[in-house]
Structure 1
Amino acid sequence: MPGAAWLGAACATLLLTSNLSFAKAEPITWNNAVVTSAAVYQTDPAIRLSMEQIMADPDWLGRSPQNAFWAADSSQVFYQQKRAGSELLDWYQRPLAGADNGVTVPLSQLHQIGSSNVQYSADKQLQAWVFEGNIFVRQADGQVQQITRSNANHSQPQFLADNQLIYRQGWTYFSVDLSTGLSSELISLKTEDKPKAPATPSGYLAQEQHKLIGYIAKTQRDKTEQHEAKAALHAANPSLAPVAAYFGKDQQIVDASLSPKADYILVAVRKAKPRNEKDIMPNYITENGDIAAQPVRWRVNDFKPEPQRLFLVSLTDGTQHPLSYTSLLGYNEDVLAEVKAENAKAKGEKYKSGKVIRDIGLMTDWYWSQSAIRWHNSGEQVAIMLKAFDNKDRWIATVDFAKKTLVPQHRLHDKAWVNYAFNDFGWFNNSPTLYFLSEESGYSHLYTKPLNSRSAKKLTHGTFEVSNPVLTSNDDYLYFKANVSHPGVYEVYRLNLASATTEQLTRLGGMTDFTLAPDEQKLLLRHSTNLMPEDLFLALAQPNAEVVRLTDTVSAEFKSLPLVAPQVVAVPSNHTRHPVFSKVYYPADYQQGEARRAVVFNHGAGYLQNSDLGWSGYFREFLFHNLLVQQGYVVLDMDFRASKGYGRDWRTAIYRQMGTPEIEDLVDGVNWLVANANVDRKRIGTYGGSYGGFMTFMALFKEPELFQAGAALRPVSDWAYYNHPYTSNILNTPDIDPIAYERSSPIYFSQGLNKPLLINAPMVDDNVFFQDVVRLVQRLIEQEKQDFETAIYPVEPHGFRQPSSWLDEYRRIYKLFEQNL
């Protein structure tokens, strides 16, 4: 939670010109919990924003660099940029010296540039990467060698401890002799039953058939001999590929990871799950004029996760050793006993708690791109991150190779749910020591744990969030990103592991992400502020280093706009002991004249931070808020409880009660506007999309006098219809915790509507289904409500793509506010 450390901290603000380099920004005092982004460009105060301009194709803003990464020799960077007027991306190379944005990489050379996840050999002399499904290697002399050339998809190149190259095609692993180019199969993982020697059929008739009919008996002998001969050939002839590892039919491989010594492979499998034929999405606007029934995700009500089985497979003899979860503390704990008891009591029943074998598997989900299996570079140790599918536990375990068992190293338990961020972990390079992130203190911090230690050591401390740790090759430093000085300001830091001291490396203000160069001497920075879209910058990887701008991709048209920089304020809360950090957009003369109209914006995603000082993904909304400000509105954008960046308690405040703490925060926000921003309580509206649309529903339904009008865009109306990975974290599942779903779903509170409501719904939304709006509209009709209208968008997914749709949507929102505020 944002405590005294943030309430009195100093915050850096960014001062940029159009030049390609700039000095370190001087910090400004964060006085009375107010922070404002500094002016960045020379603007034209006469410009008036128009809806047509704001909602046009965003190319007019500029086209920020994407997917940037370092060249292998740390002498330049590569990045992609959207082609003007097209969805295609072009690659650019930007040398560290120079004064422009770099040059386009010719298509004929794209296979040579490497990738963001290039793999290095143990001696750092070789690099391997994937380009268009094929494997490439850069030799020590800089020459690029193509390893595969086919239309098959090859992936996951890795170098073994002896510098041998490995890659994967499907679930078959190959090793490569770089001197000859020969690829040899190491092991193939198959979801089939293992072939068996032909067996004599049982039963009287079958046995008599074999005795009486010579042809049948001979056929049986031939099959047996062929099976035995094939086995003997594989055993005796080294030119043949090894026998595959079979895991049974109707199984699915979740993940696999090969040891750097190529002696073992860890494999996670689960029962294959057929598609749910009920989950379809009608698409009415198709090329052939027919209605297309497109398959979509499962609903949380229907989806049941399959537990995973973990196997240690020997590449020496092919044996498979199942790794039991029974050594994990709490593996059979009834962690939902209180929830089950409450729901049973509501039905007039009594729940008796007992031991429950929990469903467990790798920490692999839609929200986490890293591998949950991490080998030490020596191949002597492996760490595995596991989670319970009830979302209450995360474990890190290693493997005892002699006993073929899991050895618990760390358990993170959360009565609400374990965060789907902050799960980075790995090994020190030169010792059997783990490092990892954990929220166990209430904030994401860095920990280390030597395998010979009984407990982990916390390395960072404070009311801030640590993310994206990067360890140097000599184990001297851990680089990371954190919001130390202010919850909305993210800078780059490094931890000296020998002295346990932390150094701040950037002081740019706003949002700064980083990539450490391969030579570990430089940082590639991706930086933005509220008023400046993201561009690329360069700094030495040391404190007080000069920062050099590598790209300037913002358009002259955008730079000329007289945009208002929102202030970040700490709105006092009557419901928690911590303030609600919020952006406020003020008109220039807001303290003069009569009380103002105001709009409260509700950000989407729930767990998202929007009141930070970086460039917002809601850039259209940012510009719309500036348009409103030009017309005298005040705009408030709150990081209500559930938002990212403020610690575990802020995140989990919505557990089993979505739409309760957030709306309490909106009440406090409205009260603050009236008391501090010259706002008329009877002239305040609200809007938001996705989670923000859900909040608009809950605000108008549960606090019907709080706002005079609201717009809910692509909104959730019933959480039982949303997806499993997100919803089950917060509300458990409907079969276990129906109370939480009824407490949290707007459709159960729609009778409270008595103010104008606009519902905007895309029809080909495979995230929040159009069905959400259809069901709620029918509910409102049956409740004889009249103060609502619905706008549908037949060709739009969850995130609109067509400028005409954006324009139509925001014209309707603007009209709603103009007519009712």
Structure 2
Amino acid sequence: MQKPVLLLLAAGSVLLSEVAQAQQLAPLTVDKIMRDPAQWLGTSPSNIYWGEDGKRIYFSWNPEKARRDSLYSLSPGGGTARKVSGRDQRELPAATGEYDQRYTRKVYEKDGDIYVLDLKTQRVRRVTNTAEREAEPLFVLQDQLISYSRGGNLFTWNPTTGETVQRTDFRKGYKPADAAADKADKFLRAQQLALFDIIKLKDQDAKARQRQQKALARLRPKAIWLGQQTVRNLRLAPDGRYVTYTLVQEPTAEKVALVPNFVTASGFTEDISTRTKVGAAQTAYQLGLYDIGRDTTFVLGYRELKGLDEQPAYRKEYQLKAKAPAPADSAKAATAAKKEKPASELRRVVPFGPFWSEDGQRAFLVIRSADNKDRWIVGLDPATQKITLLDRQHDDAWINGPGIGYDEGSVGWLPDNRRIWFQSEETGYSHLYTVDVVNNQKKALTSGKYEVQKVQLSRDKKTWYLTANKTHPGEQHFYRMPVAGGTMTQITTLPGASEVTLSPDEKTLAVRYSTSNTPWELYVMDNKPGAKMRRLTHSTTPEFESYAWRAPEVITIKARDGADVYARLYRPATPQAQGPAVVFVHGAGYLQNAHKWWSSYFREYMFHNLLVDKGYTVLDIDYRGSAGYGRDVRTGIYRYMGGKDLTDQVDGAKLLTDKYGVSPQRIGIYGGSYGGFITLMAMFTQPDVFKAGAALRSVTDWAHYNHGYTDNILNEPYNDSIAYARSSPIYYANGLKGHLLMCHGMVDTNVHFQDIVRLSQRLIELKKENWELAVYPVENHGFEEPSSWTDEYKRILKLFETNLNPQTTTPTSAGGQ
């Protein structure tokens, strides 16, 4: 057999599948593709960053096929990548940190200590060297000092004098009671002082010492008693007058699910403590402010915040039912009505910040409602503890999206010290905005039916650097734009995805680039539009390169509600008439997989190539709820998981039969995690569409999943029981007709093994026979062992071959076991 040929094109180093297609290759097998990826596929570079002098690029890599990745470096000019020794790693500055305003110094934490790097001389100065961890270093007081936290308190260090000052004195528990506060104690004390001169003299001496100590104590921070709370996010105001901090109150006595681990080194079953379930009490947050000059603390209030007293829109459905109950349900409706929260009740919020302007004159906060339906940006006046609304983003579903997330998101100040920049889905797509804190004028800097997925301001603050999917939802490119807005100039041009890391001088780009059928590699290019990318790494093995990996076609499906749904389509070179098909459902819910770059589902991608070799057509759909397509797609599953996200799969199956000649009697479906959930819903509610399905590590009842994910989409189960009942597969199990395979790790700390056990019992009680459960005793949610991957996918393949492939025997059982 001839060796595969590598051709270097203007589009980069790409393996040409046409060369391999002309060769007689060994067929793919599950055993082959499910091996340890490092041993046969290769490991792509990741975690890319530049050395502060711009002379080396650092990244994680594993060309040696070791058990774990190691740190490597190479010159941007090319050459041989060098493995960084443990000793050299200890001497390297941390990849992340904070810079002073002129970008002359960088302060960072490493191994629990604080260091400062002079960017001109590359000299490192150690700030702390203690057994206790120091963290969160920042330049403060116009870059004169460095602040950091230790043991829940704020400290500053002066680089000129070397002096360390403790700025706060937070203490756990409650302030000791005044011994003289009791009336009886006061009487006895007065009596002693009146009767005994020696007691009177000692009391006078004690008071004199107290006055002296009090005078000295003014040089020390105020003791602030936290009670049952803890403190985070300590920040010194630029003028040194205030310390802001986040007060954290953890819920008490909440039940935590335990996951039994049966295969252990001790030989005994060991319980793993995991998480609470959706609806459990959540951590509460407040913003505290210590006014050093007045020696006083405050807790910020939000009562005047616009919309804080508004009830979520979904509650109207329950209010209407409570007002006009059906006769049979009158008692339940009355109970529900009693539980209704008063309209005047304020929702809980989570504050982020404050974020100070460079001149130290202004600050703003990002505030989110605990139910994630509102996000406010407000100006903060620490002297009066007043907030001023600058922007409110509301969503009846939940707030999220690129650059927004579940925290403060991407935010900052522009150099004029009066405009704030942030991202918002106000138009339905995440775009870049500014708002003027003086006149409240808001301006959109980008717009259109695409997402701005990453934002970075240049060091001179004259240019934006943006990553966006402007050319196609399945492509990611790097752009630049003037700080005031205007034309977005595209820098990268190759189809696929480009993950860019700017060099310190911003003249060169380190690019992690891939296409749908070539894994990620490291490239470098000049920071100029259309500049040539120079490849620096080669990670894949000759064995991997010997197969003609397909570039799936990215198509659109016209859903029943008129929406365009994107999907990857894999087709045999010579499709058989009325042949079989498999629909793959990606996990994570909010994730994109119908794109033009290398998928994180690389095992599934290889399995799809194997299926196509066997005559299957494969469809991989970015169903409603997926990332990359804006707000309406993201929130399309609100209050009904298993609604549009499932009908998108059904519409995809119809397209396969109408356009691609697939037999409607030979369509299967499979997926893991959220994909496993959809597979169960498909098998239980669409049994005439999908004849066989493999549900992997599946959520079977959303009332048993975690709060952070589920509450956003379905609200709390005790407040929105309708959403949970229609979204949970366990309620629909009686609809099973086809052949179902379920696979689950027994030490899954994300979707607990209990989920699949409960569904199994339900299927047993329903007297269903055409299902099987394969369990994996040592696997968590994401499988790690090649033997587990191999066993799982052999079962999946057998399920489809037995029940879908017309060239096999008549279907007889679930998976043919």
- Same fold (TM > 0.5): yes
Q: CA deviation at 1:221?
A: 11
Greater relative contact order (CA < 8 Å, ≥ 6 in sequence): 1
Question: How far did residue 398 of structure 1 move?
Answer: 1.8
Equivalent position to 2:92, from 113, 123, 134 = 113
Task: Confirm or deny that 1:518 pairs with 2:507.
Answer: no
Change (3 A) 1:258 1:195: farther
Pairs within 5 Å for 1:90-129: 90-100=70-80, 102-129=81-108
* Matching residue of 1:673: 656
Consecutive unaligned residues of structure 1, counting only runs of 5 or more, are 1-15, 27-36, 364-371
TM-superposed deviation, 1:23: 3.3
**Alpha-carbon RMSD:** 2.9
- Aligned pair partner of 1:619 in 602, 623, 629: 602
8 Å CA contact retained: 2:303, 2:346: no
TM-aligned CA deviation for residue 201 of structure 1: 5.5
Letter in structure 2 aligned against 1:485: T
In structure 2, the partner of 1:411 is 392
Give the counterpart letter for 2:500 in structure 1.
Answer: F
Cα pair 1:67 1:116 within 8 Å, conserved: no
1: CA distance, partners of 2:204 / 2:678 = 68
1:232 Cα shift? 4.2
Secondary structure of 2:700's match?
coil
**Residue number in structure 2 paired with 1:401:** 382
SS of aligned partner of 2:78:
coil
Q: 1: distance between equivalents of 2:246 and 2:270?
A: 35
Residues of 2 paired with 1:599 and 1:380: CA distance? 60
Give the Cα–Cα distance (whole angstroms) in 1 for the partners of residues 799 and 211 of structure 2.
76
Say whether the 8 Å CA contact 1:159–1:260 is kept in structure 2. Answer: no
On the 8 A contact 1:714/1:768 being kept in 2, the answer is yes
1:17-28 residue pairs with structure 2 within 5 A? 23=10
Deviations 1:525-560 (A, max 9, x none): 222211122222222333222222232222232222
> Structure 2 matches for 1:52-201, cutoff 5 A?
52-59=31-38, 60-82=40-62, 84=64, 86-100=66-80, 102-139=81-118, 140-160=120-140, 161-179=142-160, 181-194=162-175, 198-200=178-180
Alpha-carbon separation, structure 2, partners of 1:487 and 1:358 = 36
What SS does structure 1 have at the residue aligned with 2:802?
helix
Tell me: CA distance 1:81–1:261, structure 2 relative to 1, closer, same or farther (3 Å).
farther
C-alpha distance in structure 2 between counterparts of 1:476 and 1:803, whole Å? 50
Asked if 1:262 is matched to 2:240, the reply is yes
Instruction: Identify unmatched segments of 5+ residues in structure 2.
Output: 405-409, 805-817
TM-score, normalization by structure 1: 0.89
Q: Secondary structure at the match of 1:486?
A: coil
Following superposition, which runs of at least 4 residues in structure 1 exceed 6 angstroms of deviation?
Answer: 211-214, 217-228
2:326 is the alignment partner of 1:348: no
The code of the aligned residue for 1:798 comes to H
Alignment of 1:482-501 (within 5 A): 482-498=468-484, 500-501=486-487
How far 1:66 moved relative to its partner? 2.2
CA distance, structure 2, for counterparts of residue 578 and residue 331 of structure 1:
33
Structure-2 change in CA distance of 1:531 and 1:498 (3 Å): same
Q: Residue 809 in 1 paired to residue 792 in 2?
A: yes
Counterpart of 2:309 in structure 1 is 332
- Kindly state the Cα deviation for residue 41 of structure 1 after the two structures are TM-superposed: 9.0
* Total equivalences in the alignment: 778
Query: C-alpha distance in 1, partners of 2:308/2:630?
Result: 26
1:530 is aligned to: 516
Query: What is the CA–CA distance in structure 2 between the aligned matches of 1:627 and 1:165, rounded to whole Å?
Result: 57
The alignment partner of 1:779 has SS state of helix
Q: 1:254 to 1:137 in 2, by over 3 A?
A: closer
Name the CA distance, whole Å, in 1 between partners of 2:449 and 2:598. Answer: 23
CA separation of 1:163/1:63 partners in 2, compared to 1, >3 Å: closer, same or farther? farther
Report sequence identity in percent. 36
C-alpha offsets along residues 593-649 of structure 1, whole Å, 9 cap, x if unaligned? Answer: 432111110000111111011111111100111111111111110001111111111
Paired position in structure 1 for 2:347: 358
- 1:786 matched to 2:773: no
**Cα offset, 1:730, TM superposition:** 0.4
Measure, in 2, the Cα distance between the counterparts of 1:489 and 1:436: 23
With over 3 angstroms needed to count, the CA separation of the structure-2 counterparts of 1:97 and 1:675, relative to structure 1, is same
- Say yes or no: does 1:582 pair with 2:567: yes
- Residues 172, 185 of structure 1: 8 Å contact kept: yes
The one-letter code of the counterpart of 1:304 is A
Cα drift, residue 705 of structure 1: 0.8
Deviates more, 1:61-70 or 1:261-270: 261-270
For residue 725 of structure 2, give the secondary structure of its aligned residue in structure 1. Answer: helix
Distance 1:689 1:540, change over 3 A: same
Q: 1:780 to 1:184 in 2, by over 3 A?
A: same
Change (3 A) 1:317 1:770: same
Output the amino acid matched with 1:75. K
In structure 1, give the amino acid aligned to 2:549: L
Q: 1:45 to 1:396 in 2, by over 3 A?
A: farther
Paired position in structure 2 for 1:451: 437
Alpha-carbon distance in structure 2 between the residues aligned to 1:410 and 1:55: 50
- Structure 1 counterpart of 2:787, one-letter code: S
Kept in 1, the 8 Å contact 2:53–2:122? The answer is no
> Aligned pair 1:378/2:359, yes or no?
yes
Letter in 2 for 1:759: M
SS at match of 1:489: coil
Following superposition, the deviation at residue 793 of structure 1 comes to: 0.8
User: Within 2, Cα distance between the matches of 1:229 and 1:722?
Assistant: 60
CA offsets, 1:287-345, max 9 Å, x none? 111111211111003x1224322122234444212221123211111224324425645
Equivalent position amino acid for 1:117 in 2: T
Q: CA deviation at 1:484?
A: 0.8
Within a 5 Å distance, the mapping from 1:691-770 to structure 2 comes to: 691-770=674-753
Aligned mates of 1:404, 1:138 — CA distance in 2 = 36
**Alpha-carbon deviation of 1:447?**
0.5
Deviations 1:486-517 (A, max 9, x none): 11111111221345221111112212222222
In structure 2, distance between residues paired with 1:157 and 1:192? 27
Q: Kindly tell me: are residues 263 and 542 of structure 1, through their superposed partners in 2, closer, same or farther at Cα, counting changes over 3 Å?
A: farther
Question: Given that residues 502 and 509 in structure 2 are in contact (C-alpha distance below 8 angstroms), is that contact kept between their aligned partners in structure 1?
Answer: yes
